[in-house]
Structure formats: structure tokens, C-alpha cells
Structure 1
Amino acid sequence: MTQDATHPAPAAHHPYGTPEAPRVSVRGEARLEVDPEIARIDITVTARGTDRRAALDDLTRRNNTVLDLVKSYGDPVEKLETGAFSITPELTRHGRGERVRAHHGTVHITVELSDFTALGELTTRLADLELTRVDGPWWALRPTSHAHGEARRQAVLEAVQRAREYAQALGADLAALVELADLGAEDAAPLTMAAPAGAYRSMAFAGTEDADAPPLDLEPQRQTVLAQVNARFTMTPPRL
């Protein structure tokens, strides 16, 4: 069977390169330490009443106080979300049976801020409220942060530099890029990324009696941005 001259046979695929066009595979990595852009705090508001309606009314009042306080900070508050809400009866033994002794109410609120001076002041004021717990802050970068793109760019540059050094050690030079992939991009199962070391710090407060507590001086915790790529290149014939 002859090949039609107008439809030439496709070039043979050589996954490991050829003597005329050897391949070099490298990994590029970049690790940046940058200042955080946002901080998150979790607020837990609680209430207790001898009957269900009293607990609910008290919880509603405390919740509204917290929301009004957070909203008063305006633009620095980038996100304000109410999470889980619960009213739970507290049971006690009564003779051979049980009866409801009290009802406990809880509301969880999440706040994200971009102004860390406002964060310290707000955290102190929230912690000063009765039966209010504050956890955090958790520092982070926005998903759209330029730091992620800069880390990827540096990882690619490092991969090219590493590949060129290997080629030059053989008296050759890079000829073409064959493949560039995020580390793990070819895996069948999605990767679970661990939080960068030191990305989280937690503290908790309960309501205090000191109405003039000074604002907390919170030192933002620098974030680690990691980018890794796999790259494959062809190079010119080496001079061995």
C-alpha cells in the first residue's frame, strides 16, 4: 500500500526525543513571602433564657448589635455572612423524667476585612460585647492576587533557566518548548492543597466589663505563595 503524495504520513512521535532532538525535562518552583490582603474573623453570639422565646429574643438582639457594629465600618468590611444558627434545650433530671431547664441560642458570623487597623479596633469592640466570642484572625490573599501570577511567572523562568543549564552542560542549547504543566495537572484525581505553614493564627475572646479596652495591635502574618511547574524542552544535538 502506497502513501498518497498529497497526504504525507504524519511525523513519528518520539516521546523521549531523538539523538537529533533530545528532550530535557525539568521542574520549576517559586516560593514568595508576601503581606496578606484580607483577614477573617469568626464571631459566635450566644444567649440563654429560661424559655425558648426569651432565648430567641435575646439572641436576636445580640445578633443585631453585632451586625450593626460590623456594618458601621463600611468599605473595609469585604464580606459579612451569617452561618449556623441554633436554639438548644438544656435538659435536667426531674424525678423519673426530664424537663427543660433552659434554652441556649447560638449564631455564627464570618467577617472579612481589608483594613487591618480597623480589624484590631473591631475585634476589641466585638470581644467587649456580652456573651460574644471572637476567633481569628486568619490571614489570606485574595484568589485574584497578583502574587499568585508572579509566583507562576518565576516558576516558569526557573524551569527555563534550569533546562538551559542542563543543555549547556552538554554543549547544546534549548530548541523548543514541548510541554508546560502545573505540578499535578496531569493527575486523574484532584489534589488537596495543604494550607501554607504559618498561614493561620487563632485567638479567642469573651465579653469583658472594660468598656474602654484599647484596640488590639494585630501584626499581619506574611503569606507563602508556592508555584510549581513541569516543563519539557527539545534541545539541539549535544557535543559530547
Structure 2
Amino acid sequence: MTTDTPASAPYGTPETPRVAVRGEARLEFDPEIARIGVTVSARGTDRRTALDDLTRRNNDALNLIKSYQDAVEKLETGSFSINPELTRRGRGERVHAYHGRVHINAELTDFTALGELTTRLADLELTTVDGPWWTLRPDSPAHGEARRQAVREAVQRAREYAGALGANLAALVELADIGAENAAPYATRAPAYATRGFGGAPEAAAAAPALDLEPQRQTVYAQVNARFTMTPPTL
């Protein structure tokens, strides 16, 4: 028959007490990416007309975004739809018109070009612009800085607890992310601006004034749990 030794006690022993703390960090950083959503629409009395108009307007929007070259880091089409609109009167299923939409998503890293591009897109025919949504890159150094700050805060907090008892930290027993199995993203983002444009000829787009958009600073959170052993306290 064997028994647990005092050293295996989960909460330490009088000779090697344990202290458990939480380290937290909340830092602010300038955003690295701005995302915008562009919706191009078309409406026609027959399917072919709606598709032709939608194709032309989609190409106009894509070509305008691509003209900003290095300022655009990512460009992709989100979804496409063409829907018939039935008449509300009379019998049978008779199509009154066709509605088409294409959704485009773009990511920009040059915020100086962002205001001009947003305005020019909004000046295109039947084009809606939403955003920008400011964010950090998933591998941004900001996340690492927040984690390091959280660890330093945990060590400092544990040292203060030990010092209040006339003791010193002896060893680190455990360091873990809070909710490591279901981790949430560190950075949060929210729409900062939205602009919509309906009508207007593509030839006049270049004359549209540029919007002055102020980047929204991003808050990065980090939390850790830490357990330490310390020297016997002076009580």
C-alpha cells in the first residue's frame, strides 16, 4: 500500500506553497488591413439584358480596384445571383424583371488610397460599397507582444503576492492560455464607415472627391493562467 507524499499535493505544501495568478494584457495598435465589400447590381426586363449589364458593371468595378495595384492585397468574388421577379397580377408565373448581383471583397494595405477608391467605387452605376472593416493580420507581431505582456503581468502579480507574505518565487509550475481548447481571436473589429452609391456614369467616377477615412485602432487582448511555487512565507 502506498500513500501520496506531501510533494504531490495539488495545491502545494507548507514547505513549497503554490500561488496561482492570471496575467492579462490589453494593447492598442494601428490597423494593418482595411476590408471593403462591393455589391454590383443590375435590373432588366429580360435575363440577357440583366446579365450583360451586370457583367459590364462587375468588370468596371474589378478593373477600378485592380488599377490600385500594390495597394490591394486581396481581391475575390464572394457570390453571384440572378433572380426573376414575378408579376403580382394575373394568372400564371410571368416574369416581370430580372435582378442580378455580384459581391466583391477587397483588402487594402494602403489607407491613403482607400478613401479615393471607396468614393470612386460608390460613384459607379448601381454599386454599393460597405466598410471599411479595420483589422490586424493573423500573424501580426501585435499578438505576440500582447501575449508577452500578459506573461510579464502574471509574473509581476505572483511576485507581489509572494512578497506580501515575506516569500520569494521559486519555480514556474504551469503556464497556460485561458480556454486554450476554445480559443477566441485576439483582435476584434467593427465596421467603421459605410458609403453607398446609386446611379452615376463610370466616366465621371474619377472626378469624385476622396473620402478622408481615419483608421480605427485595434485592441488586442491576451490572458494566461500561471502557477508558481514560492519559498515558505514569513507569517
TM-score by length of 2: 0.91
CA contact (8 A) 1:172 1:239 kept: yes
- Identity, in percent, stands at 75
Cα distance in structure 2, aligned partners of 1:238 and 1:151? 32
Q: What value does the CA root-mean-square deviation take over the aligned residues? A: 2.1
User: Is the partner of 1:150 in helix, strand or coil?
Assistant: helix
Q: Indicate the residue corresponding to 1:77 in structure 2.
A: 72
Cα distance in structure 1, aligned partners of 2:10 and 2:234? 22
* Alpha carbons of structure 1 residues 139 and 71: separation in structure 2 relative to 1, 3 Å: same
Q: Indicate the residue corresponding to 1:222 in structure 2.
A: 217
User: Is the partner of 1:15 in helix, strand or coil?
Assistant: coil
CA contact (8 A) 1:199 1:224 kept: no
Q: Indicate the residue corresponding to 2:98 in structure 1.
A: 103
Cα distance in structure 2, aligned partners of 1:58 and 1:147? 44
Q: Indicate the residue corresponding to 1:65 in structure 2.
A: 60
Cα distance in structure 2, aligned partners of 1:85 and 1:130? 17
1:49-89 per-position Cα deviation (integer Å, ceiling 9, x unaligned)? 11111111111111111111111111111110101100000
What displacement does 1:94 show?
4.2
* Alpha carbons of structure 1 residues 194 and 32: separation in structure 2 relative to 1, 3 Å: closer
Paired amino acid for 2:198: G
User: Is the partner of 2:216 in helix, strand or coil?
Assistant: coil
Say which of 174, 181, 192 aligns to 1:201: 192
1:188-226 per-position Cα deviation (integer Å, ceiling 9, x unaligned)? xx2555973x64324131135464221000000111001
CA contact (8 A) 2:187 2:220 kept: no
CA contact (8 A) 2:187 2:221 kept: no
How many correspondences in the alignment?
A: 230
Find out whether 1:86 has 2:77 as its counterpart: no
User: Is there any run of 5+ residues in structure 1 with no aligned partner, and where?
Assistant: 3-8
Q: Indicate the residue corresponding to 2:122 in structure 1.
A: 127
Cα distance in structure 2, aligned partners of 1:194 and 1:207? 37
Q: Indicate the residue corresponding to 1:6 in structure 2.
A: none
Match runs of 1:41-52 below 5 Å: 41-52=36-47
Q: Indicate the residue corresponding to 2:110 in structure 1.
A: 115
Cα distance in structure 1, aligned partners of 2:168 and 2:158? 9
Q: Indicate the residue corresponding to 2:165 in structure 1.
A: 170
User: Is there any run of 5+ residues in structure 2 with no aligned partner, and where?
Assistant: none
Cα distance in structure 1, aligned partners of 2:199 and 2:52? 22
* Alpha carbons of structure 1 residues 155 and 20: separation in structure 2 relative to 1, 3 Å: same
Q: Indicate the residue corresponding to 1:180 in structure 2.
A: 175
Cα distance in structure 1, aligned partners of 2:96 and 2:35? 36
Give structure 1 regions of 4+ aligned residues with deviation exceeding 4 angstroms: 9-12, 191-195
Cα distance in structure 1, aligned partners of 2:177 and 2:184? 14
What displacement does 1:96 show?
2.3
Cα distance in structure 2, aligned partners of 1:125 and 1:214? 8
What displacement does 1:97 show?
2.5
What displacement does 1:114 show?
0.3
Match runs of 1:14-53 below 5 Å: 14-53=9-48
